[in-house]
Structure 1
Amino acid sequence: MSYSEQMLTKLQEDHDWPSAKKLFALALRHDDDDTLYDLGTQLYQLGFNPQAKRIFEKLLRAHPTEDELRTYLADIAVSAGDNDAALNYLDAIQPASDDYVAGLMTSADVYQAMGIPEVSEQKLKEAKRQAPDEPIVDFALAELYFSLGRFQEALPYYQNVRAAGEEEVAKVVIGQRIGATLAGMGEYEEAISEYQKLPREAMDADTTYQLGVLYVETKQYQQAVDTLTALQQSDPDYAGLYPYLAKAQAALNQLADALSTVQIGLGFDEFNTNLYHQGFDYATRLDDEDHALEFAQEALAQDPDDQDMILSLSNLYVKNGDDQANIDLITTAAQNHELDPQMYWNIARSYERQDRMTDARENFLLAYPHFRENADFMHDLVLFFQSIAARKELLAALKQYLKLVPDDMAMQAAYDELLAEP
């Protein structure tokens, strides 16, 4: 038995690292090159890179034309974070070498890791020219384009890989990637079709989630509920499923279920802004105002500048007649941000109900440029000017309102009567 074989036995079976180290030193001195090469590749696969590196360096000195050794050494250098050393090894591989394509692909990996994808693309295109029918090259190009979000370019390369009979490469299921690529291109129905063709064992949590999201995007809500509920049952910690499951349930008018889904989801992801907004919406639609207020207050405790939630809560305060709470909310918001025009309208209504007419008038006028074409707003404005007997402003408001609602006879009569006054 060679020293290399003895070393592997001590390493893998006996887990005796001190003895394995001694045998490794003896192998370097006494074993033949073929035996050492086998030992180097096995140590590389087991993750013992420093030892594999010593073997490959020794062999490269003895066999300087064996470029496969350079690709191994380059991989080890990348793992150690030494990209310059990796590129030095790879640049030494000449186009006439049998390992030139492998070297190009490893170079592409190095440049991508360095954040230079354009050079990575150049290396892979050269590999494609050198080996036009090699599926692993097509796969590498597809993965590069996929990682860059260039889905239109990735798709034909994935299809080439599958056409070559490869259903899985480097633990990547090609059908999964084609489905995700089609989804990235906005081809949702085609993506769904790809996912539906996958064998059950390929439907991992991520793929099931993606399929559920696609069902939501294509408004196939019952399929979305079925798919995402199955994911929830198998992997309840998959926090991303809850907003989409709730959305699908709400679309089916299963509002109580949607609200429950939001509450469960917040147990796994308490900082998910979308869930708070969804919970507020569903609770409001269920007339469950206590829960709606809880969602709003929790969301604003996390993000006091959430303008969408501030407006939603303001609308609820106006509906419920909680005028002081509405005034406090909007006044605080105004200290940090320019207000949404709807907030001027909301606070004006609250000031009016508190008989703070000067404040109400100021905010109605601030809202007016944004809502002058809104019949509901103009109706409120007419009633406000009537209440404070502001004849000139009332005439102007009535005139604008009647442009929007010309068949409102009561308002037309009020306008005519006002015009007739001396």
Structure 2
Amino acid sequence: MSSVFEVRGGNRLKGDIIPQGAKNEALQIISAVLLTPEKVVISNIPDILDVNLLIELLGDAGVKINRKDRATCEFQADNIDSAYLESAEFKKKSGRLRGSVMMAGPLLARFGKAYIPKPGGDKIGRRRLDTHVIGFEKLGAAFAYDNDDNYFRLESNGGLKGAFMLLDEPSVTGTANIVMAAVLAQGTTTIYNAACEPYLQQLCKMLNSMGAKISGVGSNMLIIEGVSSLKGCSHAMLPDMIEIGSFIGLAAMTQSEITIRNAGVQHLGVIPDKFRQLGIQLEIRGDDIYIPQQDSYEIQTFIDGSILTIYDHPWPGFTPDLLSIVLVVATQAKGSVLIHQKMFESRLFFVDKLIDMGAQIILCDPHRAAVIGLGRQHKLRGITMSSPDIRAGVALLIAALSAEGKSTIHNIDQIDRGYQYIDQRLRNLGADIKRV
């Protein structure tokens, strides 16, 4: 029996909250320790299920792991057990974790072979691995699919060689995986239409500090001159921008005064502006974000008076992970907005729960929802619901915290996969939330 959250909404919250390290950066950065036999120290690691599973998987594969505390870990991959990587146990364990695909690039680069399970993780639509595999093939790896155990095998007989490639989509994990393979390839690799998210910039910064030669970081064209080996390094992860966006939305929905400390403001891109378009006041104070208590917030229109549309787009556009949050926050605003989720086709299906709570939302199709803000004239009401994926889970949690009465949220393992000690941290702000 997995645990549930019981939430009694309506409390105004107050205080400071510090965002965790970025989940999506962690999965790439931690896989990169496989690229060197030397020590790598990583700090600001989020203490969440997906990240802990990946660390455990590396340990099983022979990486020496010394966890100084929950946020800091020392890795040394000087004695990898390649037989384990072909074992049934590795296949089973890595299949549970979406992030395990990130081990493929480093393993291929350093040991000449890698195995990728068919992806697990969120049910938010199909996530293709084509970008990863085609990139590895361009670098000279051979690829085979094993039907018996749902497994992709990659081998680079004769080593990887640099190549020019134009990615079919600017996939963040795809770009990261190809970059990790290319840093040890012979010759120069050029990746055009590369993702340029802050997470990826962090990965490139870390690899360069280990002796890699990557230029164009932050742009959509990366040029990588292969080197023969990499050394150890220390790396601190960025704060999680999805958590930061979630806390901004939470403050507005619950009419709370909250300061988000150490928010890595320079790496947030358009996120603060998107929340301002919903009418939410926020002040940047150094590296903190202060959200004052607001009785109401009004969605802006476009300059010609037409209804605002908020859609996701690869960086530096708006991240798809925050659209669920924006949608929930819009339900209590004054005014209307169209939310257009382009990248994943089933991320908006959680709106039926919000409609049950009293929100005015028209789900136009799997990609678009029109939200008619209630302007706080009617509070949402608490219901029993289940979390379909990490981000919708937190969106529903925010709705519950602003609703009247008691809400029960099932399947909260989905929330725990992406947010560390979320109930405890919200209680510190005055939320009425229990894990049962």
Q: Same fold (TM over 0.5)?
A: no
Structure (1/2) with the larger helix percentage: 1
Q: Computing the radius of gyration over CA atoms, which structure comes out larger, 1 or 2?
A: 1
What TM-score, normalized to structure 2? 0.25
